[in-house]
Structure 1
Amino acid sequence: MANIDILLGVTQRYSILHLFERNLPLEEIVQKGPEGLSYIAGGSGLKDIFHFDEQKRNHFLSQLQRLSIQYDYIIFDMGAGITNESLQLILSCNEIILISTCEPTAMTDAYSAMKFIHNHDQNIPFQLVVNRAISVKHATNTAVRLQSVSQKFLNRSLSHLGSLPDDKYVTLAVMEQTPFVLRFPNSHVSRAVQDIASNYLRGQDTNSTKKTNSFIHKLRRLFG
């Protein structure tokens, strides 16, 4: 996404587009955030990748494959909505974490996205995080409803990783341009993030090399 540098309170030097416009290696584009976090600002660059010629796409894929072995996890923050371009990247991922609030409109959008992806690939696992929940009860009800429609209409299970409370400390941290888990580590929302991360890690396959190769292979195939 385009605003990650603002949220982290750092100065952004490069985005993914510099890989193509200046022929920079991905290692140089990767920026360092707090606590050892590495990130690449996407901006509008990710959707443009799918319109580049074969040479540039192959350059991107070879760079990504070389870089990916250096990390335990690579997370693509896709934002709301699905385009034909973003769908290709989504379909290449090993798993998808849906983010929804408790509002009926958000739940409808989450299910629509899940259905759309499911119609293209029935094997990508989905997991759910409920965001900005006003209570544990609301979060649980939201998860149960989405799990129910997923099972009924898609015949798919939907794992609930956890929920994040609607916490004022998120807004305060954004205003200070500091990650809330660092600025307010004892807040309810920071503890919830830790719980979600723990729940996620407990269910992971340790074969990261196999996952990396699978991602690159699927992405190459979809670029076609």
Structure 2
Amino acid sequence: MLFKIHQHRLIITAFISCTFSLLAPHAAYAAGMIPETSVVILDESVGETTINIKNSDASPALLYSSIENLNDDKENLIVLTPPVARVEPGETQAVRFLLNSPTPLKVQRLRRVTFEGILPKDKSAGARIGMNVRQNLPVIINPKGLEKDREPWLHLKWSAQGKNLTVENPSAYVVRLGQSVNILPSNTVANLPKLYVLPGEKITIALPTEVGAGATAVKLYPATVYGFSVESYEAPLSK
């Protein structure tokens, strides 16, 4: 079986990775840049924050860091430094996030950050397959003076009419939640288009069946700011 490597990057499924490990223990290895946290919090009052990234691989690697804007919020708010850095095996690299907003923030803003380690070419004899692991984390920017809210999903407003389900976020908080919700008491399952609802955002989705006049609530599966699931919550439905 032949594998073609494009510019040092090779995407291999976990199944293939495990198969190669079993058949040839020294033929495959994984490069891993490990962030110290699962989410980055950037406070406007401070203006910057730092996260440490560890190279868990046995070889030096180049760490590439980049910010991804959302399709529904494309303003460039963050500058990363350094965007590229060489990290020795077992060592850590600090990456700084600098807020670059021309005006004061009024609500939380959401971005994504990608960390990827690129291994050097292996010139040793024999076939070796390098797997570059890409880490993609959420970045939440907090406006100055905004109080912490551990249950921001309580602010969401849910309504149903016919085959349409609508959720609206009138708060200043980014709300993270599971993609599936249940319409009660029928327990009809609906899937949201994404895993978050931005401040001021209104999302309407089509349900698979008519909700009916008997629908009273929606069961959602919230997540904390760090992405950890919490107990389900039943929010009332308005018509």
Q: Radius of gyration: which is bigger?
A: 2
TM-score, normalised to structure 1, is: 0.24
User: Which protein is richer in strand relative to its size?
Assistant: 2
TM-score, normalised to structure 2, is: 0.23
User: Which protein is richer in helix relative to its size?
Assistant: 1
